Structure 1
Amino acid sequence: MPDKNSRLRQAQEEAEEVKVIMMDNMEKTEERKAKLQDLDKRAEELKFKSKSFHKTSMKVKEQKKCDNIKAKWKLIAVVAASAIIVILVATFMLVNRSSPENTHDIGSIPMNEGGITPTTIGPGK
């Protein structure tokens, strides 16, 4: 009988060891499950944030595109205005230069007999 009792006790001890190992494995499984749930939750949050980021970045991209177009039109307007001003100034200078009232030809000053101009100061005739 001692042999049967020792075998029985040894089997109970082994069963107890297996039970402890199984309980430890169950605890680790629960911990992993909790960690996986946390990771799933984080993944969902990241997915939501990435969608939000994508929408925002698309809005910013469109805004920048519009800003660039506006800047190009403003630049075109400034260049056109500058060109018009240059053309107007050049035209004014050409018209002003060719008008008869601004010429300083000698033939345009009236001369009296004897080559004396009316503005000459001196003894009169």
Structure 2
Amino acid sequence: MPENNNQQRQVQEEAEEVKVIMMDNMEKTEERKEKVQDLDERAGELKSKSFHKTAMKVQKQMKCDNVKASWKLIAVVGAMAAIIIIVAIIMWVNKKSSPEITHERVINPMHENGITPTTNGPGM
């Protein structure tokens, strides 16, 4: 029996050692879990900051594109207005410098009885 007690004690000691190792492993696992959660939170913050930076860059680019588009629109409208003004001035100058052509009908005076007077030239 002493040998049996000796084996039993040895098994209990080994079990106790395994128990201590398992407890230590569980503590280390908890610590790692906390560290992983901390890293996960940090990664989330970094992603958020990165997203914010990217969003700000995109917003700036959009504003710049809008300003460019506005200037292009202003340039096109200004060019069209200039063309219209130039054409109007050219037409006005041409109208002033060209002899006036009127399309008025010459109305011959009629006498009371509806006969148009004619002038008789020499020899008629």
Structure 1 length normalisation: TM-score? 0.65
**Letter matched to residue 36 of structure 1:** M
Whether 1:39 aligns to 2:29 is: yes
Whether 1:67 aligns to 2:64 is: no
1:25 corresponds, among 15, 18, 27, to: 15
Q: Structure 1: which 5+ residue stretches go unaligned?
A: 1-10, 110-125
Q: Secondary structure at the match of 2:54?
A: helix
Whether 1:108 aligns to 2:108 is: no
Q: Secondary structure at the match of 2:49?
A: helix
**Letter matched to residue 4 of structure 2:** E
Give me the whole-angstrom Cα distance separating, in 1, the residues matched to 2:79 and 2:29. Answer: 73
**TM-superposition CA deviations, 1:11-43 (whole Å, max 9, x none):** 212111111111111121122122222212211
Identity %: 9
Please report how far the alpha carbon of residue 87 of structure 1 lies from its aligned counterpart in structure 2 after TM superposition: 0.6
Q: Secondary structure at the match of 1:99?
A: helix
Whether 1:98 aligns to 2:88 is: yes
2:72 corresponds, among 55, 71, 82, to: 82
Q: Structure 2: which 5+ residue stretches go unaligned?
A: 100-124
Normalized per residue, the structure richer in helix is 1
Please report how far the alpha carbon of residue 61 of structure 1 lies from its aligned counterpart in structure 2 after TM superposition: 2.4
Structure 2 length normalisation: TM-score? 0.66
User: Which segment drifts farther, 40-49 or 85-94?
Assistant: 40-49
Cα RMSD of the aligned pairs, angstroms, is 2.4
